[in-house]
Homo-oligomer: A and B are copies of this chain.
């Protein structure tokens, strides 16, 4: 790949992340192009569809999160996912449903959640009966609602506290 092409690709990804974070997933491809200092055609040369572009930056997000899971507790990690969702305004769509094809990019995240859940159970912080899909569902729900509903940081914290309490034994 030519060096200018590589440079443009990077610029487009960065511009897309910023643009979608600001305006949500329905920001136009042209907005991204302008921000990247590039023509629309160039965006489509690198990403055949707008969805492909969305998927690309969502994968970056998921990658970041999955790495972050390495040294987190379950609770910290769920909080981090919600924060990231609010910040990027796109992960939400990824978690939401199969509208976009993320391939197995979600697999890594699910695996980490499973690991952290098991760990939390061992530490006696979560009931043994809690399943992974329930944690995923609650996390997704909080992330979506926080973003779409514009939850304040305080409400976010208090709401997550209630959820965590629901997972705890006793």
Interface residues of A (CB under 8 A from B): 95-97, 130-131, 133-134, 137-138, 140-142, 144-146, 148-151, 155, 158-159, 162-167, 170
A-B contacts, 15 of them at CB < 8 A, read: A95-B149, A96-B145, A97-B148, A131-B158, A134-B155, A137-B159, A138-B162, A140-B149, A141-B141, A141-B144, A141-B145, A144-B145, A162-B167, A164-B166, A170-B170
* Complex partner residue of A144 from B134, B138, B144, B151, CB under 8 angstroms: B144
Copies in the complex: 2
Q: A137-B149, A141-B144 are in contact. Are A162 and B163 (CB under 8 A)?
A: yes
- Supplied contacts A96-B145, A134-B159, A141-B144, 15 more A-B pairs, CB within 8 Å: A96-B149, A130-B162, A134-B155, A137-B151, A137-B159, A140-B145, A141-B142, A141-B146, A141-B149, A144-B144, A144-B145, A162-B166, A162-B167, A164-B166, A166-B167
Q: How far is the CB of A114 from chain B (nearest CB, A)?
A: 16
Q: How far is the CB of A42 from chain B (nearest CB, A)?
A: 30
The residue on B at minimum CB distance from A129 is B158
The residue on B at minimum CB distance from A99 is B148
- What's the Cα separation between A134 and B166 when bound, in Å? 14
- What's the Cα separation between A140 and B159 when bound, in Å? 11
- What's the Cα separation between A129 and B159 when bound, in Å? 12
Q: Is the CB of B167 within 8 A of A138?
A: no
Q: How far is the CB of A156 from chain B (nearest CB, A)?
A: 9
Q: How far is the CB of A54 from chain B (nearest CB, A)?
A: 16
The residue on B at minimum CB distance from A140 is B145
